[in-house]
């Protein structure tokens, strides 16, 4: 039984390798597929034959012109069948539900943003709102409901993958918002809940695996402060999906008030409201809800710094030093080879950089500051969507049986089985 399980695992892994190669390389011949994946011709032939039968890939003839001296038919190529499945990718943020539909080739073909009132959204009201919003979106897309194999949801804040709930998030008025159970009941699709920064980490690995692999970290400075970790070539989420809560690790006991209700969190010194609070000399006990920050507040603060405003420059410099101390802890504990800094606050990184490196130097011995690189990446909200799609493709590549699954799941076959 163990040997059979091992063989099944190897076959699933090889199948995933082939589908990933087809998705990246486009139409390709079997012989070239073997060279790219380093799989044997027999393995490539066996797996691609199954994938063709399942409708997950399709064969086409090469459009390359034949050489005058060549004979026979054009080369037969393989490519992903984009219509084999769809996934819905959803980002939940303050006052907004962002939705995307992607096909089996990993291509997004429809996007929509729907506003909602975060101030009143709670466990009682939000699940039904989300279900109705998805139903409308799928209906507008005119896709077959049974083609949707997964609904991936990324949320700000603390998510519990075990319970399928958003435990706490600035996007909601209440706590413990059920997501997975209501969606699973409403739709015939797998539903996965993730932290939004984790999806940025997945997206970077998908986009550039040569650069973003092995062990690296992503720190997002924005409305809040988030972190994603890739450890030993795998996204690390912890036992319940709550790992890497960088923003809510303590910086100063009893320090500035955080939006989570605790005092002294990293977020209380690095987020948009923290920067505005410091620059306007508000007491550290000021409730973040009373601070006019957000996109406009952060942009105004950056404009003040550009004009040489001392209060704005001091706020950014102080935040940079706090960031340096936080990164020092990360380097000392995990030894990542790369740290990616992103989020809306990176537009102000030039005002934070020098003090960040001073903070690193103060907090970490020189021997531990030698073997890492820091990438500063302009913020792109599309990272989260791409991470959700990448994660969905990875699961489908290993487990989805395409046409065979649809035959099993069809009402007629259910009735016959009964």
Residue 22 in any domain: the answer is yes
| The total number of structural domains that make up the chain | 3
Examine the domain organization and report whether 359 and 226 are in the same domain. Answer: yes
Examine the domain organization and report whether 104 and 232 are in the same domain. Answer: no
DSSP E strands: which ranges in 81-197?
86-93, 96-103, 108-115, 148-155, 158-160, 165-168, 177-178, 190-195
Examine the domain organization and report whether 39 and 22 are in the same domain. Answer: yes
Examine the domain organization and report whether 338 and 364 are in the same domain. Answer: yes
Which residues are bridge partners to 115 per DSSP?
96
Residue 33 in any domain: the answer is yes
Residue-level length of the chain: 418
User: What's the domain range around 40?
Assistant: 2-63+72-80
What CATH number did the domain enclosing 166 receive? Answer: 3.30.420.40
Examine the domain organization and report whether 269 and 158 are in the same domain. Answer: no
Residue 187 in any domain: the answer is yes
pLDDT at 222: 87
pLDDT in tens, 7-42: 888 889 999 999 999 999 889 999 999 999 999 999
Examine the domain organization and report whether 214 and 356 are in the same domain. Answer: yes
Examine the domain organization and report whether 238 and 333 are in the same domain. Answer: yes
Examine the domain organization and report whether 120 and 163 are in the same domain. Answer: yes
Residue 205 in any domain: the answer is no
Which residues, in sequence order, are CB contacts of 268 under 8 Å at separation 6+? 251, 255, 256, 257, 258, 259, 274, 284, 288
- The backbone torsions φ and ψ at residue 188, rounded to the nearest 5 degrees and listed phi first, read -85, 65
C-alpha 129/C-alpha 115 separation (Å) is: 11
- The answer on pLDDT for 278 being more than 80 is yes
Q: What is the mean pLDDT of the chain?
A: 90
pLDDT in tens, 99-139: 999 999 999 999 999 999 999 999 999 999 999 999 999 99
C-alpha 376/C-alpha 85 separation (Å) is: 35
Examine the domain organization and report whether 272 and 367 are in the same domain. Answer: yes
pLDDT at 371: 87
Q: Which residue has the higher pLDDT, 407 or 168?
A: 168
Question: Which sign, positive or negative, has the C-alpha torsion 29, 35, 41, 45?
Answer: negative
Examine the domain organization and report whether 44 and 17 are in the same domain. Answer: yes
- The answer on pLDDT for 306 being more than 60 is yes
- Report how far Cα 192 is from the mean position of its chain's Cα atoms: 12
- The answer on pLDDT for 77 being more than 60 is yes
Work out the pLDDT band at 418, boundaries 50, 70, 90: very low
């Amino acid at each position: 039984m163990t040997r059979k399980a091992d063989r099944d695992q190897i076959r699933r892994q090889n199948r995933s390798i082939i589908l990933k190669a087809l998705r990246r390389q486009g139409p390709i011949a079997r012989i070239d597929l073997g060279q790219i994946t380093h799989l044997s011709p027999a393995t490539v032939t066996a797996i691609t034959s199954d994938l063709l039968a399942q409708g997950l890939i399709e064969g086409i003839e090469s459009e390359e012109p034949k050489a005058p001296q060549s004979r026979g038919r054009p080369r037969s190529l393989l490519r992903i069948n984009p219509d084999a499945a769809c996934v819905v990718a959803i980002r939940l943020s303050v006052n907004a539900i962002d939705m995307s539909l992607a096909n089996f080739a990993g291509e997004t073909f429809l996007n929509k943003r729907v506003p909602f009132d975060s101030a009143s959204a709670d466990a009682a009201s939000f699940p039904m709102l989300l279900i109705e919003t998805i139903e409308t979106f799928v209906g507008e897309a005119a896709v077959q409901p049974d083609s949707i194999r997964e609904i991936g949801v990324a949320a700000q804040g603390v998510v519990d993958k075990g319970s399928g709930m958003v435990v706490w998030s600035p996007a909601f008025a209440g706590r413990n918002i059920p997501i997975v159970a209501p969606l699973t009941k409403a739709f015939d699709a797998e539903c996965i809940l993730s932290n939004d920064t984790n999806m940025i980490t997945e997206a970077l690995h998908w986009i550039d695996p040569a650069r973003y692999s092995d062990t690296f970290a992503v720190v997002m400075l924005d409305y809040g402060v988030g972190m994603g970790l890739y450890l030993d070539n795998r996204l690390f989420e912890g036992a319940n999906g709550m790992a890497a809560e960088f923003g809510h690790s303590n910086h100063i006991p009893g320090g500035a008030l955080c939006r989570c209700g605790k005092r002294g969190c990293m977020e209380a010194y690095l987020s948009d409201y923290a920067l505005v609070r410091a620059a306007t000399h508000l007491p550290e006990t000021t409730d973040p809800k009373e601070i006019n920050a957000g996109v406009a507040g952060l942009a105004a603060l950056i404009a003040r710094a550009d004009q040489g405003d001392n209060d704005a420059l001091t706020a950014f410099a102080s935040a940079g030093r706090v960031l340096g101390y936080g990164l020092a802890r990360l380097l000392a504990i995990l030894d990542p080879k790369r740290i990616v800094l992103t989020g809306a606050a990176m537009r102000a990184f030039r005002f934070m950089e020098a003090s960040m490196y001073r903070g690193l130097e103060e907090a970490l011995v020189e021997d531990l500051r030698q073997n890492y690189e820091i990438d500063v990446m302009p913020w792109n909200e599309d990272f989260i969507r791409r991470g959700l799609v990448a994660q969905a493709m990875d699961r489908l590549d290993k487990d989805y049986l395409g046409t065979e699954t649809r035959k099993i799941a069809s009402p007629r076959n259910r009735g016959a089985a009964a």
